Amino acid sequence: MATKRIGFIGVGLMGHGMAKNLVEKGFPTTVMGHRNRAPVEDLVKSGAKEAKDLRALCEAADVIVLCVTGSPQVEDLVYRADGILANGRAGQIVIDTSTSQPGSTLKIAADLKAKGMRFVDAPLSRTPVEAAQGRLNSMVGADGQTFEEVKPIIAAYSENIFQAGDVGAGHKIKLINNFGVIGQLALISEMLAACAKLGVDPKMFFELFSLGAAASPMFKNVAGKAINGDFTGHQFALSNAAKDMRYYAQMATEAGVSGPVAAVVTQSLLTAVNLGFGGPEHLTGSLIRVQAKLNDVEFPPSR
């Protein structure tokens, strides 16, 4: 499988580390030009080649890996006039590592299949740090044969690989996973804002909660930094979290999943974006600042 040629699109925070691992582990890799030249140039120095457009990338690749924001970006890459569907060929495999809508994933898979191509959803968890270390978690939706074909590729940047089921299953389990992560962040944010509103020392609360049954790495990372005015404890954009919650809510609604918590968490994230916290500089820890703003308090409280 190391002789398979890889085309990689999306060499941002996560994609750069993933592509670099592919290059360093012997996969001939071609990357798509990126508006941020630094990661492209670093990868080329490491041994990757650069494609100037999708046609060139498709011609140079047996397997195309996508690491973009979500379904609109994936659909654009596949369906644009000079995109993957137009330039792809029978036998090629496309791996979507983005967090995308399962319904879109199934449509793309069917359209590529009609051309003799295969589509795999393999979204990720963990952070750019683990991406650079080759220690991501990957959740894969693919039939058994295709899974075995792409597993060595995914293993180049992953520590743990889960075959979630057929195509679409990877994105389903990823959205459930992200609901759990983002739901915790929403709860942490409201707890800390309540401390500020009620005059409870957030540092004392952090120490107390950290010793209890509900303590978690998420709480310790996010709250542990936030009580000192650092809202970077979880390296994920708040706007992307809002997008993932919209995807989860749509998926759950279409499947008839009952449960009020997801709707509340979704509205919490949308409120944050509407209050001006949707820029790339606002990570999910900024949700604490949003809750403080809604409660007309300062966080961390000034002494």
Quick: pLDDT tens for 195-243. Answer: 999 999 999 999 999 999 999 999 999 999 999 999 999 989 999 999 9
* pLDDT, average across residues 65-83: 97
Considering the chain, what is the average pLDDT of its residues?
Answer: 96
What's the whole-number mean pLDDT along residues 21-26? 97
Inform me whether the pLDDT recorded for 33 exceeds 50.
yes
Domains of the chain: 6-167 (3.40.50.720), 172-294 (1.10.1040.10)
pLDDT value at residue 34? 73
Query: Does the pTM exceed 0.85?
Result: yes
131-180, pLDDT tens digit by residue? 999 999 999 999 999 999 999 999 999 999 999 999 999 999 999 999 99
Residues 217 and 223: their CA atoms lie apart, in Å, by 10
Question: CA-to-CA distance for 49 and 31, rounded, in angstroms?
Answer: 6
Phi-psi region of 116 (alpha: psi -120 to 50; beta: other; left: phi over 0): left
pLDDT for 303 equals: 67
Q: What is the pLDDT of residue 253?
A: 94
Beta strand 136-141 pairing with 124-125: antiparallel
Q: Check whether 1 has a pLDDT greater than 60.
A: no
Structure tokens at 42: 């670093």
Q: What's the pLDDT tens digit per position in 97-112?
A: 999 999 999 999 999 9
CA-closest candidate to residue 113, choices 135, 98, 100, 94:
94
Confidence of residue 66 (pLDDT cuts 50, 70, 90): very high
